[in-house]
Structure 1
Amino acid sequence: MNKPTSPYVNRDLSWIEFNRRVLEEAQDPDNPLLERAKFLAIVSSNLDEFMSVRVAGIQDQMKAGYTKRDFTGYTPAGLWKRLMKRTDQMVTEQYRTFREVLRGLAKEGICFRPIEELSAHQLKAVDEYFRDIVFPVLTPMAVDQSRPFPLLRTKELYLSVILGRENMPEEEEPYFAIVQVPSILQRFVSVPGRVNSKKNEFILLEDLIERHINNLFNGYTTIAVDPFRLTRNADLTLNEEGAEDLLEEIEKELRRRRWGLPVRLEYGKGIHPYALQMLKEELELGENLFEIDGPLDLSFLMRFASSLPQYESLHFERIEPVYPQEFDQSDDMFAVIRQEDVLVYHPYESFESVSDFVTEAAQDPDVLAIKMTLYRVSGQSALVQALAMAAESGKQVTVVVELKARFDEERNIAWARQLEKAGCHVVYGLVGLKTHAKITLVVRREQGVLRRYVHVGTGNYNDNTAKLYTDIGLFTAHPVIGADASALFNEVTGYSSPYEWKAFGVAPSDLKQKLFSLIDREKAHAAAGKPAHIIAKMNSLSNQEMIDKLYEASQAGVKIELIVRGVCCLRPGVPGLSSNIRVISIVDRFLEHSRIIYFRNGGEEEVYLSSADWMTRNLTRRIELMCPVFDARLRKMLINVLRLNLDDNKKARELQPNGNYEPVHNELPVLRSQFQAKDIRIWKT
């Protein structure tokens, strides 16, 4: 086997491979059809974010004339070319899969129809829908000398309209106009069924608008109508040092984000040449153009698939989260946690236990204070309501709200204002650092002394994503963890000299060094002939120093098993470099989100939960948390969870030295870790 030219995989090329694994789920015939449609939607949403953040950043470097190679050996221009080629290939494959899924759905009686195939009865119904609902919302925008090219919003769907007049000379340029497809309306329009048919039929909203386009341009002849969509640079550029009010500064940046520089233009196949010329000239986009053979922006398929719950066989079997049995036997959560630490594994166990913990604290007269970090919160959060209730009842409530949680900024601003009105002490974190740690501290008076109760999680305090992501939560009253939790909040909310953490590893102060020392300890065990083994589960691994440290450990004889769902810049299995390292990725119905780290430690096993991926931003530019699990029984549960992942031979793909992923194949019985984990006895015993 030839040794790769670079010891590292490029981060952005690794991300493309991750999104390809999502696409493979849409292509998997073993997945139900409507779930395959959802995976197609996720591919589109992922690409939108990738283009608006990562590719936008690369294009900024190119415009600035930046030519330095990154640690994987790529210049911005060279990387951009490879990314565009691979993205183009992926989009072509995505739409081929889309057509395959549509054919499968049609066999099940779910059909998207071209308008010309509708019956007279159906046409009458959709025409009424256009007249009553769609037409009043539309705004035609002509472009001429008196009406400049309109500001187009990012990731919105538009129609370019080429128009002519009667007896117009051939040499005269046609008229150009734009119509926005209103995102406030559903993209798919249900059509009344045909006589004696049980099929569910739909048309696309843009097709309906095109049918009636002449209603918007009376007196003109329609020459061509074509869909297009613009993606703009969405990265926030904040001057936090100079921002007197971070809340207001972020609100201003969010308004500017809608009009960031164009990054990508998508347009329908066969677009009129004059329309494409106008768009390219006005948007100043010579490159990064994608001709799409199908409906633009397949993210609408997520809502579409969810609108058809009656087709049970076309969805995954429902998994109902169970309430954790430790809390199910008692009305007093604090009494349970005093007696034993409790581990909760979402989505197999209910997030309601976390909401109940905060609600019980809010209602308990013996609770004096509640402190909590909020990064991404759901639309109707019981947690926020409980925190507000606690503050209104006179408790000390401190909430660290991260305003810079990408694409959730507006929602977090709304929660921050609501909590402030209720009397909570709202803190927006530290300048230059995102607060990404997930922790809740409850201080309770018990028989004249104060006791601290802590919840530490690997995922956000969000009841919606807790049904879709796999995450771990730990409830504990351990005094060392409680003391560290108090110190952490003091550092974030006030002036505090550096604290010597007893249990936690905290970024950016010492988490990386703590991990390095734990890895070095495994190296020492290997050198002494003792068992040396590291298992780490995370979303992404891209920090060069961390990768080099793992390479050192591999060369020292430490067995390393990594479960990295997304980006992985480490090359496993390279002789003389990483021959003791195995990397797998699992993409399945739930988003693998938990961060769990295991060290064999010569037989004295240690397990940690963390909010941090092993990326440079997590280790150096965020407030992150790594918490030990002291209870041996819970450590065993977490090792069981890791072992389930490592034994997966249905959805696991293994990273090869060349940066590609291949399905795991072995002669063992089929094991799909997410389906096994729903039987809680498997990992709790």
Structure 2
Amino acid sequence: MTKQLSAYLNRDLSWVEFNRRVLQEAQDQRNPLLERAKFLSIVSSNLDEFMSVRVAGVHEQIRAGLTKMDFTGYSPSGLWKRLQKRTKDMVTEQYRTYREIVKCLSKEGIFIREYSELTITAQRAIADYYNEIVFPVITPMAVDQSRPFPHVHTKELYLAVTLRMEGEEEEGCEPLFAIIQIPSILPRCFAIPSRSNSKKQEFILLEDIITTFIDSLFTGYEVESVSPFRLTRNSDLSLDEEGAEDLLEEIEKELRRRKWGNPVRLEVECDIDAYALKVLKEELEIEEGLYMIDGPLDLSFMMKLSSMVNGHDQLRYKKFDPIYPFEFDEDKDIMSVIAERDVLLHHPFESFEPVNEFVWQAAKDPDVLAIKMTMYRVSGQSSLVKALEYAAAAGKQVTVIVELKARFDEENNIAWAKQLEKAGCHVVYGLVGLKIHAKLLLVVRREKHGLKRYVHVGTGNYNESTAKLYTDIGLMTSNDVIGSDTSALFNEITGYSVPRDWEAFAVAPAGLKARLLKLIDREIEHARAGKEAKIIAKMNSLSNQEMIDKLYEASRAGVHIDLIVRGVCCLRPGLPSISENIRVISIVDRYLEHSRIVYFYNDGEEEVYLSSADWMTRNLEKRVELLCPVFDSELKNLLIVILQLNLADNVKARALGVNGQYERVAIDQAPYRSQFESQQVERWKGRKEYVQ
């Protein structure tokens, strides 16, 4: 008898399937070779975060003795076992792909070498580098009765060394043990100097350099084995926000405690010395989270390696420069344009520069009285931060809501917050119990007929760097209704304001989910009345059970539903009498799909919304998130075109099947790649003269 499928897919197992899709991009020979290497690096970085947060959370549930099943039918122990198997299978596949890519690189004259493979000249260059740069930095740490096992930092690379005193008999005596931390302050990849007429480019890994000269660290001893290892700890923050008098101080304390999180994963190379492995397992108290790796640990170095390769443009994506939006010809004032019409920006195909210019113009404009914005993840050299500092110095009221709890950006955001405060900005450190994830920027200007509000609402962070890598949408508007709601939302976050009846916005945690459910109910009513009913929703993740159940209800009523979900999806499409009218696709391509767009047919009176929120419980119930309607009919049509481009993709789209597996969309027409089509942004904006 066939086992009945659960109506839900597990969130964490769905994430593993997402990372497998990233791995498939590393395997796809249609992608340029150095880009495949980058995808391989992303697989490692993704898995690091997943292990240190999600898998660590499951591990903590087991330690706490929890046995209750989640709504997808998994207990913590059952999920832990399944995750270990799935991730280990994926890692095995990842390293098989690594060996294939390294082989392909060698055919192009790009080599990752071992020391013994190098010429005498190259070996001398490496010896000089070791003696002058590496040796003074590294510190061997012995383990014996007087020196306990040192603290091993999360996600740092180490060498486990076994050794004996010179001349000591081996029998009946355990070897001595020491560890060495590979200094992360030094580059992981060393470019080996080559002859001027050589076309070869050779690299060697830092741990291999140290291993080659390991004897210099243990004079008077014989080194028996050198084994790389890497530990991943629980890195999720657990804050007592209610009891914290100072949220900034509490987060700084928690960041220090993060370094001591419980071990979750131990990575070692397959040929690790047996005694070294025994010591590591005992000292780190880890058994089930052991990963035996057939290759160098932590393949995230492939990202840096790709950037270190000189030339070889044919092995990279063709360079693409974002287009400066035609609405803002360079001789125009940003605010004067927004005063006349709403403008939609589609990153990375369109430049993020107008957002920077918007804030800079506001900072320098003597009629601008106030600037307010949210800050979740900001780039290292942020033009926006400099503009805000300038505005504060010019005497304007500058308010910045800095979310200190942005995972793994906490330290960066603390530094920005202190810098902004020092410059005279009013800095608000989020809210107790809630992350501020809404992307919102407000400029208040004194004009002839009174104060006017200019607003930018985004689906992505105010980050110039990720705006070149992520697909996101930004709406720039002076609409009075949106402006009024924006002012009210900032007042609600920064002060004491009773939640208002929003005119345009829907805001989580109080009302965004309710608004979405109501909008879906409206489509259900239309379908039951025999009218055409349609929903298209694009997001990063879908895991909230109530939203999934409402979509199932809509499907049963006859609503046609297309979901474009890049990552986690707990909804199972294609279930008879449950989700037969639901299609789910995921697009993994050159740019990270990040925009959140929601479309409702509404009996022909189409509505389109931009949002900062994924349909996850944390976004809908535990964060300040935003759902903003797009009123301008031309811009609504542009967003619908973006959704249609995604749905038409048959090159990088994968469709989620009823079995929970993703398969490439069958090509029964000419190949169509939505991100590359989106690069013709001039065409879908209706400016034929811009088509090249």
Deviating more after overlay: 633-642 vs 164-173: 164-173
Supply the AA of the counterpart residue of 2:664.
P
Shift of 1:304: 1.2
Given the superposition, is the C-alpha separation of residues 3 and 285 from structure 1 closer, same or farther in structure 2, using an over 3 Å criterion?
A: closer
Give a deviation string over 1:472-528, Cα, whole Å, max 9, x none: 000000000000001100110000012000000100010000000000000111112
Percent identity (aligned): 67
> 1:667 deviation in Å?
1.5
Q: Deviations over 1:652-678 (max 9, x none)?
A: 000001110000013111100001100
Match of 1:60 in 2: 60
Q: Which residue in the other structure is 1:216 paired with?
A: 217
* Alpha-carbon contact 2:201-2:309 (below 8 Å) kept: no
Matched AA of 1:130: Y
Q: Shift in Å at residue 166 of structure 1? A: 2.8
Aligned partner letter, 1:436? H
**Cα shift readout 1:539-568 (whole Å, capped 9, x = no counterpart):** 000000000000000000000000000000
Q: Does 1:155 align with 2:164?
A: no
SS state at 2:62 partner: helix
Q: What is the Cα deviation at residue 113 of structure 1?
A: 1.1
Once residues 623 and 147 of structure 1 are traced to their aligned partners in structure 2, the CA distance between those partners, rounded to angstroms, is: 49
Shift in Å, 1:186: 0.9
Single out whichever of 673-682 and 211-220 deviates more from structure 2: 673-682
8 Å CA contact 1:676–1:682 kept in 2: the answer is no
**Is 1:627 aligned with 2:628?**
yes
Q: Which residue pairs with 2:76 in the alignment? A: 76
Instruction: Give matches, 1:333-372, under 5 Å.
Output: 333-372=334-373
**Are positions 1:287 and 2:268 aligned together?**
no
Alpha-carbon contact 1:122-1:194 (below 8 Å) kept: no
Q: Which residue of 1 aligns with 2:410?
A: 409
Q: Residue in 1 aligned with 2:642?
A: 641
For the Cα contact (< 8 Å) 2:334–2:354, is it kept in 1? no
Matched residues in 1 for 2:4 and 2:682: separation?
Answer: 43
1:27 alignment counterpart:
27
Secondary structure at the aligned position of 2:283 is classed as helix
AA aligned opposite 1:407? F
Q: State the match for 1:98 in structure 2.
A: 98
Letter in 2 for 1:166: E
- Give the aligned length: 685
Per the alignment, residue 49 of structure 2 pairs with 49
Alpha-carbon distance in structure 2 between the residues aligned to 1:2 and 1:425: 62
Which consecutive aligned stretches of 4+ in structure 1 deviate over 4 angstroms post-superposition?
1-4
Residue pair 2:189, 2:204 contacting (<8 A) in 1 also: yes
Q: What SS is found at the alignment partner of 1:136?
A: coil
Cα distance change, pair 679–3 in 1 and its aligned pair in 2 (3 A): farther
- 1:135 counterpart residue number: 135
**What's 1:383 paired with?**
384
Match of 1:517 in 2: 518
| TM-superposed deviation, 1:683 | 2.7
Kindly indicate whether the alpha-carbon contact (under 8 Å) linking 1:3 and 1:574 is maintained by their aligned counterparts in 2: no
Aligned equivalent of 2:18 = 18
Inter-CA distance 4–676: structure 2 relative to 1 (3 Å threshold)? farther
Q: In the alignment, what sits opposite 2:176?
A: 175
Shift in Å, 1:255: 1.0
Which shows bigger deviation, 135-144 or 253-262? 253-262
Given that 1:4 and 1:657 are in contact with CA atoms closer than 8 Å, whether structure 2 keeps it comes out as: no
Letter in 2 for 1:356: E
In the TM superposition, what are the counterparts of 1:104-143 in structure 2 within 5 Å? 104-143=104-143
Q: For 2:328 and 2:531, locate their aligned partners in 1 and report how far apart those are by CA, in whole Å.
A: 39
2:513 aligned with 1:526? no
Contact 1:638–1:683 (CA under 8 A) maintained in structure 2 = no
Establish whether residue 239 from structure 1 lines up as the match of residue 240 from structure 2. yes
| Secondary structure at the counterpart of residue 178 of structure 2 | strand
Query: For residue 496 of structure 2, what is the aligned residue in structure 1?
Result: 495
Secondary structure of the structure 1 residue equivalent to 2:427: strand
Q: Counterpart of 2:445?
A: 444
Q: Is the 8 A contact 1:240 1:431 kept in 2?
A: yes
Q: For the Cα contact (< 8 Å) 1:596–1:608, is it kept in 2?
A: yes
- Superposed CA deviations along residues 84-127 of structure 1, whole A, max 9, x for unmatched, are 00101000000000000001110111001111111111111110
Could you say which residue in structure 2 is the equivalent of 1:558? 559
Q: Name 1:468's counterpart in structure 2.
A: 469
Tell me the residue number matched to 1:86: 86
| Residue 139 to residue 430, structure 1, CA distance change in 2 (3 Å) | same
**TM-fit CA distance, 1:34:** 0.5
Deviation at 1:286? 1.8
- Is the CA contact (8 Å cut-off) linking 2:650 and 2:665 kept in structure 1? yes
1:36-68 Cα shifts (integer Å, max 9, x gaps): 000000000000000000000000000111000
Conserved 8 A contact 2:234-2:263: yes
Partner of 1:199: 200
Equivalent residue, structure 2, for 1:398: 399
Measure how far apart 1:362 and its partner are.
0.6
Label 1:17 to 1:243 Cα distance change in 2 as closer, same or farther (>3 A): same
Who is 2:672 aligned against?
671
Partner SS state of residue 578, structure 2: coil
Structure 1 unaligned blocks of 5 or more: none
Q: Which residue identity does 1:629 align to in structure 2?
A: V
Question: What is the Cα deviation at residue 191 of structure 1?
Answer: 1.2
Q: Partner residue of 2:316?
A: 315
- Counterpart CA distance in 2 for 1:623 and 1:253 is 22
Q: C-alpha separation between the residues in 1 aligned to 2:537 and 2:96?
A: 36
Give 1:427's aligned amino acid: V
Secondary structure of 2:265's match? Answer: strand
1:600-649 Cα offsets, whole Å, 9 max, x none, are: 00000000000000000000000000100000000000000000000000
Equivalent residue, structure 2, for 1:374: 375
Give the Cα–Cα distance (whole angstroms) in 2 for the partners of residues 306 and 562 of structure 1.
Answer: 35
Structure 2 regions of 5+ residues with no counterpart? Answer: 687-692
Q: Counterparts of 1:608 and 1:575 in 2: how far apart (Å)?
A: 30
Secondary structure, aligned partner of 2:577 = coil
Q: Equivalents in 2 of 1:96, 1:271: separation in Å?
A: 19
1:651-670 matches, cutoff 5 A: 651-670=652-671
What are the Cα deviations for residues 183-202 of structure 1, in whole angstroms up to 9, with x where unaligned? Answer: 11111111122686310011
Residue aligned with 2:136, SS = helix
Q: Give the letter aligned to residue 591 of structure 2.
A: F
Counterpart residue identity of residue 514, structure 2: Q
Q: TM-score scaled by structure 1?
A: 0.99
| Preserved contact between residue 596 and residue 610 of structure 2 (Cα < 8 Å) | yes
Once the two structures are TM-superposed, the CA of residue 177 in structure 1 deviates from its matched residue by 0.3
**Is 2:423 the partner of 1:422?**
yes
Give 2:153's aligned amino acid.
R
Q: Given the superposition, is the C-alpha separation of residues 195 and 448 from structure 1 closer, same or farther in structure 2, using an over 3 Å criterion?
A: closer
Aligned mates of 1:210, 1:609 — CA distance in 2: 53
The 1-side partners of 2:404 and 2:448 are apart by 39
Q: What CA distance in whole angstroms lies between the structure 1 residues aligned with 2:180 and 2:479?
A: 60
For residues 117 and 613 of structure 1, the distance between their equivalents in structure 2, rounded to whole angstroms, comes to 50
Q: CA deviation at 1:331?
A: 2.6
Determine the C-alpha separation between the residues in 1 that align with 2:191 and 2:197. 17
C-alpha contact 1:163 1:222 (8 A) present in aligned 2 = yes
TM-score, with normalisation over the residues of structure 2? 0.98
